[in-house]
Structure 1
Amino acid sequence: MTGRDAELAALRAAVARPPAVAFVEGEAGIGKTRLVSELAAGRPHVVTASCQPLPDPFPFGVLLDCLSQCGDRLRDPGPVTGALRDHLPELAAQLPPAPRPLGDPDAERHRMFRAIRELLCALGPTVLVIDDLHWADAHTRQVLRFVIANPPPELSVVATYRPEDLTDQAPLGHAFRVPPGVTRTHITLCPMGTGDVRALIDGMLGATLASDSFVDAVVHETAGIPYLVEETVRMLPDPERDVCSDEARHILDGIDVPVLVRETAQERMRSLPAAARSIAEAAAVLGVAESTGTLAAVAGGAGLEQMVTLVKSGVLVEHSPDQYGFRHPMAARAVRASLPGPWRNELHKRAVRVLSGLDRKPLARLAAHAKAVGMADEWLRYGELAADAAAEARDVPAAIDLLSEMISDRDVRPQDVNRLAAKLCGNALTGLHNPAVLTRVEGLLSDPRLAADVRGEVHLWFGLLLLRETGGPDRAKAEIAYAIDLLGDQPERIARGMAVLAVPYLSTTPISEQQAWLDRLEEVLGHVPSRTLRTAVLATTLGGRLLMGDPSTWQRAERLPSPAEVSEPDEIRHLARAHCNLADACTWIGHYQRARTCIRTGLTLAARVGAPYVTGTAEATAVRLDWLTGQWAGLDERIAELVRTYAHHPPLITELDLAGAWLATARGDWTRAERGFRAGMSPHATVPVQIAAAGGMTGLLLNRGDAAGAERHAERGVALIRGKGAWMWAGDVVPQTVDCYLADDRADAVQRLLTEMSDGLAGTDAPYAQAALTACQARLAAATGDHRAAATLYETAIDVHRKLGLSYRATQLAEHAARETPPDTTVLASLAESYDSLGATVDAARCRHGIRSIGVPTPSHRGRRGYGDQLSPREKDVARLVVSGHTNREIAQALFISRRTVEEYVAKVCRKLNASSRDDIRMDHLQTPGSR
């Protein structure tokens, strides 16, 4: 009953007000029978029967089937009902004697009609359900018209029918007016939309599994007809795996058309006149809706009369003005499969001839028709043109599918394979993550048709894809290094490979080794004549240099062309990547205003040419930047949406998980925070993300009292920095490590660590790490009793963090400084308000707890705004933690309040959200308080 609640409610309301008549209209498989079955379920006074598709239906057959079920409910049937004794032997003992024959067929028929009406009246409250009325005999329709014209007062009639299978235009033979006092309802069942199709698929599997691409493909293939959706899922080889696949179209193409669809389509074709059947066969081979002119040309000539016949019979439907085709692709497949091979091939050839003459040639369809009949040259020509057009239209998946299909054919000539392989690899890196694409490119490596230089290029592309798709650097680096050897002295081809090997954040390789690749690359760049390739190489290396803290990066960035100078799509795409990579590096080392400028430029350029991967990296960088600079409004929702969008791109997801974990920590949601930090430490994450996640985990565990666990993560993060020689990335782990050491009275270890960090930062451009170093020196001075130096260092650190735009970090440092002096409730109250403005729940609660702990009451909330049925900020904090699965004790600990207070807040939340218990509070309730 997915998606039919409104229709079922309307049907129930109708039969609840007898006398009533309800018609349920819809095409085959739309769910009419299922709807009336649900109506009948649990109702004691419903009698149901179905008409059958017989060449000569039995007179009154479906009505007699219904009445034969009602012997236990008859109440004083009148004398005229005796006319039914011979027709209803099951009820003969309860019916009066049969009346004498009248000798007049018309009079006998009239008495039969009266007998059926009288018997229905004797049943008392009854819902008579007749399914598939379009197959009923003429006598049945006439009786129904007679009964409904003067219905028994307690009778409701429900009839379902397919409009395309009616012999007349109306379900009862011709237009019929329901008399006054009779409830009339007409329900038209429509195909399901995407949401209902998803719910039906997930309901069949008992889990939320279906991917967006699979649902979209099923809607396209089945037109949203429930029966076809169900049969499609049942016929999948491995449903739980297949519904998650990004290769939905290929999977659906591989399953058979359901038997009922095949038989129905073929039966309708047999009933058509020859000329109309030819048009339908042409439509089946064409596969999509086409104009009447194109259909006639492929069919070999046809007229308006044949088209009218096809539309009236429901074989073809009008998809748009003068565009006709089958209702759904499955029906077209069923007809196409039934055609004799020679005739089907002839129609494909005609399709190529007709479609190639159109002003706007449907290139992909031309390729498919040509392939179907072995027209190899035409297939390759149209297929390659279609792939180029798809790439230009930013439909990268379609371009990849077309190119892969041609390359995988072993009869394609080597020169064609080499050209197509280069195009496939180029498109693979342009689009978003797709494991199938990685597999396809890997398959090319062993293709004997590839020339040596092309094979080297494929190894290069494969290495780049490995880095992006899996986050595993070792094999990727090996592939790229091998490609460089194969490409020999071709600087324009090896420059990009060298550029990737020079990127510092992709592996734990020491930065000194990557600096060596940069030096080699400088020599190669001087010999590269193409500005596009130079831009591509700079797009990779400039961000890497900035991440290394190279002060010369901005001077080198002047070699990039300005956005106004570029017009060629590839160069625009590389320039977009350059700005987005610089933005990413800026957020790690501390140039936050420059990061925003670079993100805006990069996204604008990416939008000009359609570069989804570049856009994804920029959006993830923007999330991290907004976290760092305290712009947290709506950040939760953005992270959740981006995680859904880039679910199949692990490196991006780990960046989003890191930002989500930072946010969860500030709000006391430790479960979510721990989950996000652990994701950030996975092999898919870049090295800076792994370092920052280790620092986040260290701070989280320290707050929870797990000093040993905190130290393990701190040491892990610092070890990554030492191994890389990347102290410019230390701002998100060294402060937590200092807190960890000081909690264990290890000031000497802190001193050694800060000395090492100071030496590592010498000569680098790393403002965030330098600011963090000053803050750590302040913490060390305070811990060793040098309070004057601590105050000066804190003041400097707070000022630097504020100038950088790091409002949250600056507020945290101000709180640290405040706790090094005698308690000042005014300062703590001001800090609490600063935290509140950011949304840092835990920090604000800690400050207020500090005020209470020194015996000063917190300011009264009386006089402040009332929230009515909406949740107050504190109630939202509690509700968010409840939804995350925290116990009252954990919430109390996170928010520095008593368990009793938490219980009071939970009770208020339940009341305002109309939730019966804490288990009924859901995240969507927090977006629309006061309603469920």
Structure 2
Amino acid sequence: MTNGIVCRTSSPVLIGRAAELRALVRAAAAPPAVLMLEGEAGVGKTRLVSELIARTGKAGRRVLLGCCQPLREPFPYGVVIEALRGAGDVPAATLSPLTGALAPYLPELTQLPAPPPPLGDPRADRHRLFRAVHALLAALGPVLLVVEDVHWADDGSRQLLRFLMADPPPGSSLLLSYRGEEVPGGLPLGSAYRPTPGSASVFVRLAPLDRDGVRQLTGALLGTSAVSAEFAARLHERTAGLPFAVEETVHALRDPEGAVQADGAAARRLLDAVEVPALLRDTIVERLTALPLAARRITEAAAVLAEPATPDLLTAIAGLAPARARHALIRALDRAILVETADCHYGFRHTLAQQAVYDTLAGPDRQELHRRAVRLLRDRTPAPLVRLAEHCRKAGDTAGALRYGEAAADQAGELGDLAAAIDLLRTALAGPDLTPSDVDRLAVKLSTVACNGLSQREVVTTLERLLSDERLSGRLSGEIRLTLGLMLIRQAGSLEAARVEIELAIAALGDRPALAARGMAVLAQPWVGDTPLAEHRRWLDRVDKLIAAASAAGDRGRALTLMASNIASRLHTGDARAWRTLADAPVRAGTAEEQRQLARLHCNVADACSWIGYHRRAGRLLRSGTRLAADCGAPYVVGTARSTGVHTDWLTGDWAGLDGRAEALIEEYRDLLPVTSELSLVLGLLSAARGAWDRAAEHFTATAIDQPGNAFTPVVIAAHGGVAAMLLAQDAAVAAVAQADRGLELLRTKGVWAWAGDLLPVAADAYCLGGRGERARALLGEFEREISTLDAPMAHAALAACRGIVAAHHGELPDAIKAFDDARGQYERLPAPYHAAQAAERLAHCRLRHGDPAAATTFTELAEVFDGLGATRDAARCRHAYRATGAVTPSRRGRRGYGDELSPRERDVARLLAEGHTNREIAEVLFLSRRTVEQHVASVLRKLKVRSRGELAVTR
């Protein structure tokens, strides 16, 4: 076990082989049959055979297993004889006298008849022996004879197997597995097999796993579903999807938990540090040593190049004459140590094979081959800078490695590939023999690109190391520290540390006001941590002065950079003056950097709009901001915009497929707290609206709700509201009050009441249901005072809802009706259809209490609205409320029949079943009786053609 992850020696389930297993099981169950299983070393033939044997044994059929060995003993027919030794008891009466020919070979089978006398002709004796094996298999009844690794079989065994396959014994199935690359012409028995009429035949060529299969296998080995797509892609690239190579590589990881969650560049580095599995290395080296010298040289050249290459390039690096090199390449291809990866380009099947060959090279030979590679590649147009840097490094040319690596980083940055640029700069900074000027230059470049990219943990490590590097100039330490703070602010659990680093950086940047101003703009952002708004305002005022000064001086770039932070910060606080500043902001960019800042401005303002209630404007700004960010290469801005888009879609009722999108984005941006926390909030709210309480609680916890100092405040305040609402739905009013109190404490500490819209109505409801009506009225008064001057439409709509809740609790129904109607209208104008429907539901209850029976029909209408959104729990609550009024449910005459399709209620039940809910829990979520749920469950299982709810969870 490492860091909580248990690394299994093999997968507990078979991954990616369902179709192949079905084909083998079906054929083996219909004897006589011949099954051929082909696949390269490590592809999983033995595992598949084991699954087949297990199923055959469960079916009550006998299984005989023989395995050929690479070192052949002088014992013909040995593998078949070895398999027959496992035959066990055979009724003597069923045995033909002919089977006595096997008695000398199988003394374990004491029931065999006495051996017949020799025929005096070796060929006749051999034929009689073959017939005896045939007869014994026929007597054994339903039997599966498995012979593995036939590519190592002796000639006698091949002849015997050909004999048996030509006329399979009745009731017998024969399975032969082999490596196609290890047998001449791909014929495991030396000649083509032609099925006999009346017998079944199936050929299965086992292919490596695809990326998804590698991801599933890794998760099964580690007992976790948190395997990143980037890690799976790199592992697939390294292993070519060979299950054995995947298993061995995963076992060798020093930190499996951290590795499987790493991004692309980090995953590559972690996997490159893993040694080639011993068994795979030995297989590759065995093939290599069997090659002629020239073929080994061409293979070694391919290993040094480490990517597919043309024959001319391989010939030049290997130092061979063209004619000799051609024959050498053909031999390497025949032995399948090299493959044609594309037209006229040759390389290895997977990185592990390349590494195994590379590791056989002596140091001086490796260096010389890398020098040749540099000489051959440096004059190409365009120059392959990354490859040249790597070849220089491995040739011992540190100056060349730095020159080409830095040029490659510059090129990647210009092309917008910031992840590559960051990785190249980090590699260059780790190089030996760097001068102070080299360190300064590379550090500034890394600092410049890091904030726009997505790389996180590795960049933080490099920046921390730079700050303790004596070669870094003191004048640059402030800039590097500022970048470190900006990176830490994106990382879970590091917001407080980020603030400290930024404050230290500002103090050190007295002679560089532009950089210091960037730090001030970050400290002004009110959504970070639990710092009171008064402290943020101090920084906001300073930055506003700097914006004015930059604008007056015509410094458009600096003004736009600061506006991108400060305008959004002001809007978050409900400061209407920010709209005037936004109107003065540039609408076009003159440089790529200005475009990045303009993209930040649009996306940051969109985020503020989504929190304070300008939802339509948020959508427009997101579209323009995302387009600007994508065009200029600002992946971090794109990531934050995508999470804001998910939040805005939640608010505006566009829920179709929203949970899938959110989960995919969390996977993609899992190291960026600003993104993952907002997405987790949305997933929690969606789950709560569907009655999936446990799942909702997990998502709310992932917002860092219990760490307000290291969280994004509006997200956490909304999460407190979500948890409290969920507790109220479960009739846990006391717990809901406690949860609301924690959220209110943070809100009051922070002082940004524009964010109160997701918490205050729930808090007021909790107080009223928990018998604290006066506290609810006091909270309402506080809310009214705090937001009276704020430009925050969402908060004002929530205030109207709070007025309705408090009035309804105190029996002031006319006031409650007016307030809820006002709240509904305000929510609709935002638009916020889910909140509007909830306000309309409260309005209907008040109208009923006030003596308006016509309000009952509103519940059925609202149930349809909630259903349209996907709010299962709310829809069920409205239907329950309608039934509770005693109104007559409209006749079903004229309604559509669902036949074998699931009805809407059955779909709700099916989803809850698949999530593991019991019938009692489903009844509570959907406001149904236990008996009704039982009927729905039976109907769901019947329509989906599954026998149990466990199968439903698997097929979901």
Asked whether the two chains share a fold, i.e. TM above 0.5, the reply is yes
Output the TM-score relative to the length of structure 2.
0.88
CA apart distance, 1:355: 1.9
Q: Decide whether aligned partners of structure 1 residues 587 and 150 sit closer, same or farther in structure 2, where only a CA change above 3 A counts.
A: closer
1:522 to 531, 544, 552: 544
Match of 2:10 in 1: none
CA contact (8 A) 2:98 2:135 kept: no
Q: Decide whether aligned partners of structure 1 residues 55 and 392 sit closer, same or farther in structure 2, where only a CA change above 3 A counts.
A: farther
Task: Report Cα offsets for 1:339-396 as digits up to 9, x if no partner.
Answer: 1221111111111111223224332222111111220111011212233344455544
CA distance in 1, matches of 2:828, 2:445: 48
2:309 to 286, 290, 300: 290
CA apart distance, 1:608: 1.9
CA distance in 2, matches of 1:290, 1:589: 57
CA distance in 1, matches of 2:935, 2:67: 59
Q: Decide whether aligned partners of structure 1 residues 764 and 296 sit closer, same or farther in structure 2, where only a CA change above 3 A counts.
A: same
CA distance in 2, matches of 1:413, 1:507: 39
Match of 1:113 in 2: 127
Equivalent runs, 1:33-48 vs 2, <5 Å: 33-41=46-54, 42=57, 45-48=62-65
Match of 1:499 in 2: 521
Which deviates more, 323-332 or 807-816? 807-816
CA apart distance, 1:60: 4.3
- Name the SS for the 1:805 alignment partner: coil
Match of 2:251 in 1: 234
Match of 2:42 in 1: 29
Q: Decide whether aligned partners of structure 1 residues 883 and 25 sit closer, same or farther in structure 2, where only a CA change above 3 A counts.
A: closer
**1:682 paired to 2:696:** no
CA apart distance, 1:280: 0.8
Match of 1:130 in 2: 147
Which deviates more, 621-630 or 778-787? 778-787
CA distance in 2, matches of 1:747, 1:150: 89
CA distance in 1, matches of 2:926, 2:62: 59
1:838 to 860, 866, 874: 866
Match of 2:5 in 1: none
CA distance in 2, matches of 1:622, 1:289: 41
Match of 1:824 in 2: 852
CA apart distance, 1:793: 4.5
**1:424 paired to 2:424:** no
- Name the SS for the 1:544 alignment partner: helix
Q: Decide whether aligned partners of structure 1 residues 906 and 433 sit closer, same or farther in structure 2, where only a CA change above 3 A counts.
A: farther
RMSD over aligned CA atoms reads 3.3
CA distance in 1, matches of 2:234, 2:64: 39
Which deviates more, 671-680 or 652-661? 671-680
Q: Decide whether aligned partners of structure 1 residues 737 and 136 sit closer, same or farther in structure 2, where only a CA change above 3 A counts.
A: closer
**1:542 paired to 2:567:** yes
CA apart distance, 1:162: 2.2
Instruction: Specify the code of the residue in structure 1 equivalent to 2:756.
Output: A
Equivalent runs, 1:860-899 vs 2, <5 Å: 860-884=891-915, 886-899=917-930
Task: Report Cα offsets for 1:146-178 as digits up to 9, x if no partner.
Answer: 554455555544333222222455223244545
1:203 to 203, 220, 232: 220
CA distance in 1, matches of 2:35, 2:924: 61
CA apart distance, 1:279: 0.6
CA apart distance, 1:313: 1.6
- Name the SS for the 2:451 alignment partner: helix
CA distance in 2, matches of 1:479, 1:16: 69
Instruction: Specify the code of the residue in structure 1 equivalent to 2:567.
Output: L
- Name the SS for the 2:468 alignment partner: coil
Equivalent runs, 1:312-327 vs 2, <5 Å: 312-327=334-349
Task: Report Cα offsets for 1:256-289 as digits up to 9, x if no partner.
Answer: 2222222222222222222222111111111121
Match of 2:577 in 1: 552
Equivalent runs, 1:644-723 vs 2, <5 Å: 644-680=667-703, 681-683=705-707, 684-723=710-749
CA distance in 2, matches of 1:148, 1:910: 44
CA apart distance, 1:594: 0.7
CA contact (8 A) 1:132 1:160 kept: yes
**1:457 paired to 2:479:** yes
Q: Decide whether aligned partners of structure 1 residues 224 and 412 sit closer, same or farther in structure 2, where only a CA change above 3 A counts.
A: same
**1:305 paired to 2:327:** yes
CA apart distance, 1:670: 3.8
1:387 to 409, 420, 427: 409
Match of 1:440 in 2: 462
Instruction: Specify the code of the residue in structure 1 equivalent to 2:719.
Output: A
CA distance in 2, matches of 1:52, 1:917: 45
- Name the SS for the 2:679 alignment partner: helix
- Name the SS for the 1:870 alignment partner: coil
CA contact (8 A) 1:121 1:154 kept: no
Task: Report Cα offsets for 1:740-795 as digits up to 9, x if no partner.
Answer: 44456766655544444334334432222223334434555555666655555444
Instruction: Specify the code of the residue in structure 1 equivalent to 2:267.
Output: A
Match of 1:928 in 2: none
CA contact (8 A) 1:546 1:585 kept: yes
Q: Decide whether aligned partners of structure 1 residues 305 and 837 sit closer, same or farther in structure 2, where only a CA change above 3 A counts.
A: same
CA distance in 2, matches of 1:850, 1:737: 23
Instruction: Specify the code of the residue in structure 2 equivalent to 1:833.
Output: E
- Name the SS for the 2:489 alignment partner: helix
CA contact (8 A) 1:694 1:733 kept: yes
Instruction: Specify the code of the residue in structure 2 equivalent to 1:534.
Output: A
Equivalent runs, 1:216-365 vs 2, <5 Å: 216-239=233-256, 242-246=259-263, 247-301=266-320, 302=322, 303-365=325-387
CA distance in 1, matches of 2:186, 2:466: 59
CA distance in 2, matches of 1:853, 1:12: 56
Q: Calculate percent identity across the aligned residue pairs.
A: 45
Which deviates more, 649-658 or 338-347? 649-658
Q: Decide whether aligned partners of structure 1 residues 573 and 109 sit closer, same or farther in structure 2, where only a CA change above 3 A counts.
A: farther
Q: Decide whether aligned partners of structure 1 residues 75 and 574 sit closer, same or farther in structure 2, where only a CA change above 3 A counts.
A: farther
Task: Report Cα offsets for 1:673-724 as digits up to 9, x if no partner.
Answer: 4444444423253111222222333344344444433333333333333333
Which deviates more, 466-475 or 47-56? 47-56
Which deviates more, 480-489 or 296-305? 296-305
Q: Decide whether aligned partners of structure 1 residues 613 and 860 sit closer, same or farther in structure 2, where only a CA change above 3 A counts.
A: farther
- Name the SS for the 1:507 alignment partner: coil
Instruction: Specify the code of the residue in structure 2 equivalent to 1:570.
Output: E
CA distance in 1, matches of 2:109, 2:532: 94
CA distance in 1, matches of 2:102, 2:810: 107
Match of 2:628 in 1: 605
1:631 to 654, 658, 670: 654
Instruction: Specify the code of the residue in structure 2 equivalent to 1:336.
Output: Y
Unaligned runs of 5+ in 2: 1-13
Q: Decide whether aligned partners of structure 1 residues 267 and 381 sit closer, same or farther in structure 2, where only a CA change above 3 A counts.
A: same
Q: Decide whether aligned partners of structure 1 residues 613 and 832 sit closer, same or farther in structure 2, where only a CA change above 3 A counts.
A: farther
**1:726 paired to 2:752:** yes
CA apart distance, 1:567: 6.3
Task: Report Cα offsets for 1:781-830 as digits up to 9, x if no partner.
Answer: 55566665555544444333322223333333334344444243432312
- Name the SS for the 1:739 alignment partner: helix
CA distance in 1, matches of 2:596, 2:788: 35
Match of 2:783 in 1: 757
CA contact (8 A) 2:860 2:882 kept: no
Instruction: Specify the code of the residue in structure 2 equivalent to 1:509.
Output: T
CA apart distance, 1:480: 0.7
Match of 1:566 in 2: 589
Match of 1:165 in 2: 182
CA distance in 2, matches of 1:892, 1:45: 49
CA apart distance, 1:494: 1.4
Instruction: Specify the code of the residue in structure 2 equivalent to 1:354.
Output: L
CA distance in 1, matches of 2:64, 2:667: 48
Task: Report Cα offsets for 1:877-915 as digits up to 9, x if no partner.
Answer: 344444555555554444444343333333333333344
Task: Report Cα offsets for 1:415-456 as digits up to 9, x if no partner.
Answer: 122222223234433333643332232222212121123211
Instruction: Specify the code of the residue in structure 2 equivalent to 1:827.
Output: A
Instruction: Specify the code of the residue in structure 2 equivalent to 1:270.
Output: T
**1:857 paired to 2:880:** no
CA distance in 2, matches of 1:385, 1:169: 48
Q: Decide whether aligned partners of structure 1 residues 78 and 23 sit closer, same or farther in structure 2, where only a CA change above 3 A counts.
A: same
CA apart distance, 1:547: 0.9
Task: Report Cα offsets for 1:613-640 as digits up to 9, x if no partner.
Answer: 3223222222222232333333333333
**1:375 paired to 2:370:** no
Q: Decide whether aligned partners of structure 1 residues 861 and 88 sit closer, same or farther in structure 2, where only a CA change above 3 A counts.
A: closer
- Name the SS for the 2:37 alignment partner: strand
